[in-house]
Amino acid sequence: MGFTRESRADIRDIVRDVVMEVLDAYLDRISNKVMEKIETNMEENIKQHEYSLKKLQNKIDLLEQSNKSRNLIIPGVPESQGEKEEEKIITICSDKNININNEEIISCYHMGKVRNDNKDRPILVKFSSEKQRECLMLHKKRFVNTKVSAEKI
């Protein structure tokens, strides 16, 4: 018994449909495995980046803390035109027998916006090391009964 053209075409269509279903199922399994692998790799990468970010944030925090440990806020220093804040701080300290020189001060400036109420803005002094700041803090008792004081940040 032979196959007719129609039955051959039907068989061919059935075989093609079965092969397509098998291929689709196989491709679905492969694509699912690939996606799972990609997701796993991405999750590992994210964890590594989060760890690195946390380490860098800790380093930044330590650097900021170290930088701030050399800072001192000095309120009560009158503002005047022409005289630099650095010179004012050195003069005020030398009047109280505290030796500080220009090389020990990295920067010195009034904090905040200029005020119209004639209140003096505090001065932020950045020393080259904690040692100079601590020296001034040790002798801050000498500023009692004056407008000037020293405050740690």
- The per-residue pLDDT of the chain, averaged, comes to 87
The SS3 of residue 109 is: strand
Residue 149's pLDDT is what?
Answer: 65
Average pLDDT over residues 1-7: 74
131-151 confidence digits (pLDDT tens): 888 888 888 888 776 767 666
23-71 confidence digits (pLDDT tens): 999 999 999 999 999 999 999 999 999 999 999 999 999 999 888 888 9
Residue 2's pLDDT is what?
Answer: 64
Domain segments of the chain as ranges: 1-68, 70-152
Residue 40's pLDDT is what?
Answer: 96
| C-alpha distances in Å from residue 99, one per residue of 102, 137, 152 | 10, 13, 19
- pTM, whole model, 2 decimals? 0.61
CATH architecture of the domain with range 70-152: 2-Layer Sandwich (3.30)
114-131 confidence digits (pLDDT tens): 777 778 888 899 999 888
Q: Give the residue from 153, 152, 148 showing the smallest Cα distance to 85.
A: 148
